[in-house]
């Protein structure tokens, strides 16, 4: 059926209620072919003819010509335009030309690595080069295979994290592979933006240095999705000029974009529109019944599972034979499960897949005709990446964006030009950030001695960073060359992403099977006791979450509700208030803060009807993040004025925070997602607007923002004032969602910050804009020297702070305004890990001692659980007690309950000097006697 007919049919169906608010057709594009200047050589030509490809698309030929001419290239063409061929052909040619040549391919995710590896090994087979050893080298690879790949592999697929933490520290073992390295492929280049990108750029510098040591100089082939600046990003990441290939020659069928807004509902206060999930599953079931392969993207793992469940139930009623051809897919599944789903998708066995961003990157999922996006994915690049999953080749395709009932979605629904009329986002990196290079310099020096004159490849702050590292006894200068001088392996302490460093494993109580893994920051919201965990559409209830052993035990249970975590992140308190200045009518500060991630409860919600059953309290440990923050404090009389004007002051402050955060990337090279904002803290003014960094210990972005505040805040004011919206929108004061917060989005509960209030606060705070460029309190001017001194102190402090254990420290009612004194020389020789452990121990001892003085003896143990958990906020149905291990009294209660029911099995004691054989004999004898 043609897509226009389908839309017509939908529009004329009796239960259609005007959901289609906008359609846009993008005309089909003819394929353009070209031949490379020199014809293809043998193995590649055979591979192409095997695949049935007669001629290359123009951009593929262009890429091949450029590569053969000796350029490093970045290919930035649309989804499914055959970018993989642009590196497969050069690799095949290089392998055939030189029997020792090797190639390394980097992909940002494991799933993608597997997928591309499959494609490549197929290509090798077709080219008749099965004898070339190629493989995936990642965290899932068994040690034996890793060794074999390292010693004999010629084409290795891996990810940057593995390169950083596993290959680089022991590059000597990779000497042969690296010495023969001819080609380095960086796929999904656009992913490397923000902090991840800055880390990646430094990793690349280190990698090229090691390659040079082994006498090789690999050429780079990078592939990128559509972004505004692929060439600039490629050059920043690799430190080399890159030739851009972006003239897409692949054909494209007609594409129809539909914006689908769920109909309004009456009768409830907060739920004004029907659930997007309900709309999406109906659409998906309909498309599947028409035989159109469909992919649905949701923003959360939970939603993906839920939509799958809904679709299955719907198909069960209408076309039961199709239910087996739908599947969910998301991060957190086990590798084998994912591989199987990818295989079935590619083979065309599946008609529908409900997924999260996990499938957004270039995994080849074969020909899909339709794509449903549940909610705007946040950036244009992501939107086009996801919608590009539909419409392989010249087939007509349909993309439906279902609007959530949140401000940004509703804004997009009413202003479709936001999607189609704007330039796509830029990817930015700041590869010379002094804090980023400090970590990478440690690694670089560990890998190879660094001659002083070479340090400039890490930017102008490198000499300063090296001096500070020497002070900290991490590196040492001997005869004009820097050497590693500590017992640590720095690569293992420095993470390329701001991700958590370990995962929580999910285990099925009944079978002992491992269902999946989630990272530690995601575990409490998803896997708290009594949470409903969904896996392959089945519901499981979480019985226990053990954060000490990183395991969650779940039990299969059939329920008609799901759970929504409640909580979020904010700045809890200020540790050090290091800089302060009068700003406008108020003040501005910069310093060290501690932010908390906390889930205080959860809500149970019925499937379909979305009626809330109840809200329950949770007693989970709080995660904490020590970082840097900038905070702005408008004057108190102004806040009073805002309130007397009948406006919500808090909401306005939040709006200012959001608006500032959104504009930061225009003033420095960072990403809006590198920050969070929150209002007030335990030991600051209630109306302090905090902008804090989401990277452990911070990377100095907020200090730069503090320095540039006189430019930033007027721009923020101008931006909010000139925005055309009436009540606030994602372009100015914000969406109601924050990164880690978990408002009940599904039900649309959360308000857009008040624009009027934000404007009034900004106006009053900036005053007449005459008082913005003040020097810090306590310093006369802001000279270069002063800046340098500050940077030096703060870099030194950051290294010291890394040695402090992240623990729940006492809070000063008045934050200190100076850095603590520097560590003693002899302390520094101790490795960081040992120091952290010792300090943690000291703190706990000290805390016990202090509490012992104050408390009666039965409460001596400061870490014993409280006698009673927090009261549930509002409960209509009672649940059994929450089993959270790490709370001994609950465990022992359970144990005693168990022991009543069933006597414990008798254990034969092991006697001293008893050998196993003797014990076995005795037991056997006893059993015989018992019988």
Partner 1 sequence: MSRPRSQQAARAATPAEPDLTPLTGPAVRLESAVNGVEVAGPLGTGYLIKTPISSLSGFEHVSDAFASELARPDAPVARMLSATAGGQVPVENIIFMDLETTGLDATPLFLIGTMVWEDGDFVVHQYLARDYSEERAVIALFHEQARQKHLMVSFNGRSFDLPYVRTRAAATGAPLDVRLPHCDLLIEARRAWSNRLPNCRLQTIETHILGRQRHDDLPGRFIPEAYHEFVRTGDARRIIQILEHNVPDLITMAEILLRLPGR
Nearest-approach distance from CB 868 to partner 1, in angstroms = 23
SS3 311: helix
SS3 389: coil
The single-letter DSSP state of residue 165 is I
Q: Which of 481, 503, 550, 622 binds partner 1 (CB under 8 A)?
A: 481
CB atoms within 10 A of CB 177: 23
For 416, phi and psi rounded to 5 degrees?
-60, -20
Task: Report, in Å, the least distance between residue 213 CB and partner 1.
Answer: 7
Q: Output 4 or 473, the one with its CB closest to partner 1.
A: 473
Binding letters toward partner 1, positions 175-204, x by CB under 8 A: x-----------------------------
Determine phi and psi for 272, rounding to 5 degrees.
-95, -20
Q: Which stretch binds partner 1 (CB under 8 A): 25-33, 96-104, 481-489, 523-531?
A: 481-489
- With a CB cutoff of 8 Å and minimum separation 6, the contacts of 125 are none
**What is the bridge-based pairing of β-strands 255-260 and 155-158?**
unpaired
Task: State the Cα–Cα distance between residues 21 and 298, nearest whole angstrom.
Answer: 20
Nearer to partner 1, 7 or 175 (CB): 175
Q: Does 486 bind partner 1 (CB under 8 A)?
A: yes
Closest CA to 764 of 647, 590, 663, 682: 647
Distance CA 269, CA 888 (A): 43
In whole angstroms, the minimum distance from the beta carbon of 915 to partner 1 comes to 13
Instruction: Please report whether residue 865 would count as binding partner 1 according to CB under 8 A.
Output: no
* Binder of partner 1 out of 190, 309, 442, 484 (CB under 8 A): 484
* Residue whose pair of structure tokens reads 């408002």 in the numeric block: 743
Q: What is the DSSP letter of 460?
A: T
What DSSP string describes 480-543? TEEEE-SSS-GGGT--SSS--S-EEEEEETTT--EEEEEETTTHHHHHSTTPEEEETTEEEEEE
Residues 417-446 that bind partner 1 (CB under 8 A): 446
Q: Which is nearer to partner 1, 846 or 908 (CB)?
A: 908
The token duo for 209 is 């240095």
Question: Does 173 help bind partner 1 (rule: CB under 8 A)?
Answer: yes
H/E segment holding residue 694: none
DSSP string, 849-912: HHHHHHS-GGG--TTSPPSSPPPPSB-SS--PPP--TT-HHHHHHHHHHHHHHSPPPPPPPPPT
Out of 290, 457, 485, 673, the only residue in the binding site for partner 1 (CB under 8 A) is: 485
689, 631 in Cβ contact below 8 A?
yes
Q: Per CB under 8 A, which region of 167-175, 231-239, 334-342, 782-790 contacts partner 1?
A: 167-175
- How many residues bind partner 1, per CB under 8 A? 26
DSSP 36-92: -SS---HHHHHHHHHHT--SEEHHHHHHHHHHHTT--EEE---TTS-HHHHHHHHHH
Q: Which is nearer to partner 1, 205 or 296 (CB)?
A: 205
Contact criterion met (CB below 8 Å) for 456 and 484: no
Q: Could you tell me the smallest distance in angstroms from the CB atom of residue 173 to partner 1?
A: 5
| Closest CB to partner 1 among residues 722, 912 | 912
Selected binder of partner 1 within 8, 13, 100, 170 (CB under 8 A): 170
**Length in residues, the chain:** 931
How far apart, in whole angstroms, are the C-alpha atoms of residue 629 and residue 689?
10
Asked whether position 473 contacts partner 1 by CB under 8 A, the answer is: yes
**Cβ neighbours of residue 212 under 8 Å, at least 6 residues apart?**
none
Q: How far is the CB of 172 from partner 1 (least distance, A)?
A: 3
Sheet holding 397-402, edge to edge: 20-26, 255-260, 397-402, 370-374, 294-297, 352-355, 326-329
Smallest gap from residue 486 Cβ to partner 1 (A):
6
* For partner 1, the closer CB: 72 or 544: 544
Least distance between partner 1 and beta carbon 104 (Å): 17
| Residue from 860, 910, 920, 923 in contact with partner 1 (CB under 8 A) | 910
| CB of 452 vs partner 1, minimal distance in Å | 13
Q: How far is the CB of 668 from partner 1 (least distance, A)?
A: 37
Q: How far is the CB of 146 from partner 1 (least distance, A)?
A: 15
Q: Based on CB atoms, which residue is closest to partner 1, 317 or 912? A: 912
Please state, in angstroms and rounded to a whole number, the distance separating the CA atoms of residues 535 and 514: 11
Is residue 913 involved in binding partner 1 (CB under 8 A)? no
Question: Tokens for 775?
Answer: 């020097």
Closer of 165 and 623 to partner 1 (Cβ):
165
Phi/psi at 125 (5° precision): -60, -45
**Smallest separation (angstroms) from partner 1 to the CB of 930:** 24
Q: Is 479 in the site for partner 1 (CB under 8 A)?
A: yes
Q: How far is the CB of 304 from partner 1 (least distance, A)?
A: 37
* Helices first, then strands: H and E counts in the chain: 29, 30
Chain centroid, CA 824 distance in Å = 38
Pairing of strands 481-484, 475-478: antiparallel
CB of 485 to partner 1, least distance (A): 5
Cβ 483 to partner 1 shortest distance, Å: 4
**H or E segment at 271?**
none
Q: How far is the CB of 219 from partner 1 (least distance, A)?
A: 23
Binding mask 656-685 for partner 1 (x = CB under 8 A): ------------------------------
CB nearer partner 1, residue 483 or residue 819: 483
Is residue 448 at the binding interface for partner 1, with CB under 8 A as the rule? Answer: yes
Q: Cβ 478 to partner 1, closest distance in Å?
A: 5
Q: Is 588 in the site for partner 1 (CB under 8 A)?
A: no
- Say whether residue 922 binds partner 1 (CB under 8 A): no
Q: How near is the Cβ of 502 to partner 1 at its closest, in Å?
A: 20
- Quote the CA–CA distance of 560 and 607 in Å, as a whole number: 6
Binding test (CB under 8 A) with partner 1, winner from 27, 143, 269, 478: 478
What minimum distance in Å lies between the beta carbon of 687 and partner 1? 47
Identify whether the C-beta of residue 919 lies closer than 8 Å to the C-beta of residue 908: yes
904 near partner 1, judged by CB under 8 A: no
Stretch of residues binding partner 1 (CB under 8 A), selected from 318-326, 380-388, 430-438, 479-487: 479-487
Residue of 169, 617, 635, 696 interacting with partner 1 (CB under 8 A): 169
- Considering only residues 819 through 848, tell me which ones interact with partner 1, judged by CB under 8 A: 829, 831
The residue (of 478 and 897) whose beta carbon lies closer to partner 1 is 478
Q: Which stretch binds partner 1 (CB under 8 A): 172-180, 331-339, 525-533, 847-855?
A: 172-180
The reply to whether 172 sits near partner 1 by the rule CB under 8 A is: yes
Q: Does 860 bind partner 1 (CB under 8 A)?
A: no
Beta-carbon contacts of residue 785 (< 8 Å; ≥ 6 apart): none
With CB under 8 A as the contact rule, the residue among 33, 214, 667, 819 that binds partner 1 is 214
Residue 135 and residue 188 in contact, taking contact as beta carbons nearer than 8 Å: no
Question: With contact defined as beta carbons under 8 Å apart, do 749 and 407 qualify?
Answer: no
Judged by CB, which is closer to partner 1: 141, or 489?
A: 489
Which region, judged by CB under 8 A, interacts with partner 1, from 477-485, 584-592, 730-738, 753-761? 477-485
Residues with Cβ within 8 Å of residue 786, at least 6 apart in sequence: 779
Q: Is 213 in the site for partner 1 (CB under 8 A)?
A: yes
Residues that bind partner 1 (CB under 8 A): 169-173, 175, 213-214, 446-449, 473, 476, 478-479, 481, 483-487, 489, 829, 831, 910
């Amino acid at each position: 059926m043609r897509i226009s007919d389908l839309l017509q049919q939908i529009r004329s169906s009796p239960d259609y209620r005007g959901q289609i608010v906008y359609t846009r057709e993008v005309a089909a594009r003819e394929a353009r072919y070209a031949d490379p200047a020199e014809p293809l050589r043998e193995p590649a030509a055979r591979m192409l003819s095997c695949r049935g490809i007669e001629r290359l698309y123009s951009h593929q030929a262009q890429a091949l010509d450029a590569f053969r001419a000796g350029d490093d290239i970045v290919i930035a063409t649309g989804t499914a335009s055959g970018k993989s061929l642009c590196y497969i052909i050069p690799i095949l040619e290089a392998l055939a030309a030189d029997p020792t040549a090797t190639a390394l391919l980097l992909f940002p995710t494991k799933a993608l690595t597997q997928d591309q590896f499959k494609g490549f090994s197929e290509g090798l087979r077709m080219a008749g080069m099965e004898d070339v050893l190629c493989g995936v080298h990642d965290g899932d690879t068994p040690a034996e295979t890793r060794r074999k790949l390292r010693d004999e592999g010629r084409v290795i697929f891996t990810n940057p994290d593995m390169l950083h933490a596993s290959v680089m520290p022991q590059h000597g073992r990779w000497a042969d592979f690296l010495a023969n390295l001819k080609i380095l492929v960086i796929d999904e280049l656009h992913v490397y933006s923000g902090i991840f990108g800055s880390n990646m750029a430094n990793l690349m510098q280190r990698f090229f240095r090691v390659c040079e040591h082994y006498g090789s100089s690999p050429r780079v082939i990078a592939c990128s999705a559509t972004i505004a600046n692929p060439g600039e990003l490629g050059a920043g990441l690799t430190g080399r000029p890159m030739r851009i290939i972006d003239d897409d020659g692949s054909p494209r069928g007609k594409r129809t974009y539909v914006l689908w807004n769920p109909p309004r509902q009456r009768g409830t206060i907060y739920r004004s529109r029907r659930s997007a999930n309900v709309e999406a599953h109906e659409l998906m079931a309909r498309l599947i019944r028409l035989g159109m392969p469909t992919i649905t993207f949701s923003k959360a793992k939970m939603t993906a599972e839920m939509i799958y469940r809904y679709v299955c139930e719907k198909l069960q009623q209408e076309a039961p034979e199709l239910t087996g051809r739908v599947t969910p897919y998301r991060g957190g599944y086990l590798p084998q499960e994912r591989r199987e789903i990818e295989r079935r998708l590619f083979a065309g066995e599946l008609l529908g897949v409900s997924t999260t961003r996990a499938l957004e990157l270039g995994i080849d999922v074969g020909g899909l005709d339709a794509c449903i996006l549940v909610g705007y994915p946040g950036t244009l690049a992501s939107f086009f990446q996801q919608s590009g999953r539909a419409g392989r080749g010249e087939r007509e395709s349909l993309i439906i964006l279902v609007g959530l009932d949140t401000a940004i979605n509703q804004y997009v629904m009413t202003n479709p030009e936001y999607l189609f009329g704007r330039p796509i986002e830029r990817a930015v990196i700041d590869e010379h950030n002094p804090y980023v290079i400090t970590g990478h310099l440690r690694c670089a020096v560990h890998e190879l001695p660094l001659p002083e004159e070479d340090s400039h490849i890490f930017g102008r702050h490198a000499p300063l960073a090296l001096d500070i590292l020497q002070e900290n006894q991490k590196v040492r200068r001997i005869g004009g060359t820097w050497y590693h001088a500590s017992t640590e392996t720095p690569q293992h302490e420095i993470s390329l992403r701001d991700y958590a460093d370990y995962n929580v494993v999910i285990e099925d109580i009944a079978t002992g099977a491992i269902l999946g893994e989630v990272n530690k920051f995601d575990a409490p919201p998803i896997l708290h006791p009594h949470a409903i965990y969904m896996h392959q559409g089945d519901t499981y209830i979480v019985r226990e979450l053990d954060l000490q052993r990183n395991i969650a035990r779940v039990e299969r249970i059939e329920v008609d509700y799901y759970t929504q975590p409640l909580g979020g992140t904010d700045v809890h308190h200020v540790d050090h208030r290091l800089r302060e200045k009068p700003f406008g009518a108020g003040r501005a500060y910069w310093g060290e803060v501690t932010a908390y991630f906390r889930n205080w409860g959860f809500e149970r919600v019925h499937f379909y009807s979305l009626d809330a059953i109840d809200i329950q309290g949770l007693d989970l440990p709080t995660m904490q993040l020590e970082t840097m923050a900038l905070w702005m404090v408008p004057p108190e009389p102004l806040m009073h004025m805002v309130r007397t004007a009948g406006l919500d002051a808090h909401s306005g402050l939040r709006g200012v925070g959001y608006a500032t955060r959104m504009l930061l990337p225009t003033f420095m090279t960072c990403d809006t997602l590198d920050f969070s904002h929150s209002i007030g803290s335990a030991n600051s003014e209630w109306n302090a607007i905090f902008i804090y960094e989401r990277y452990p210990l911070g990377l100095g972005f907020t200090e730069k923002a503090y320095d540039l505040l006189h430019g930033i805040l007027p721009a923020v004011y101008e931006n909010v004032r000139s925005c055309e919206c009436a009540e606030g929108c994602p372009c100015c004061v914000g969406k109601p969602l924050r990164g880690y917060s978990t408002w009940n989005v599904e039900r649309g509960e959360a308000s857009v910050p008040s624009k009027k209030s934000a404007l009034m606060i900004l106006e009053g705070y900036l005053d007449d804009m005459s008082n913005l460029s003040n020097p810090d309190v306590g310093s006369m001017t802001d000279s270069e020297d002063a800046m340098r001194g500050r940077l030096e102190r703060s870099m030194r402090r950051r290294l010291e702070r890394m040695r402090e254990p992240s623990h729940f420290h006492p809070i000063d009612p008045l934050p200190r305004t100076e850095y603590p004194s520097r560590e003693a020389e002899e302390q520094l020789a101790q490795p960081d890990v040992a120091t952290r452990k010792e300090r943690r121990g000291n703190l706990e001892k000290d805390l016990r001692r202090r509490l012992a003085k104050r408390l009666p003896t039965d409460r001596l143990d400061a870490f014993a659980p409280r006698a009673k958990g927090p009261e549930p906020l509002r409960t209509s149905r009672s649940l059994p007690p929450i089993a959270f291990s790490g709370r001994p009294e609950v465990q022992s209660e359970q144990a005693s309950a168990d022991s009543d029911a069933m006597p414990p099995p008798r254990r034969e004691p092991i006697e001293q000097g008893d050998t196993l054989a003797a014990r076995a004999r005795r037991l056997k004898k006893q059993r015989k006697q018992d019988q």
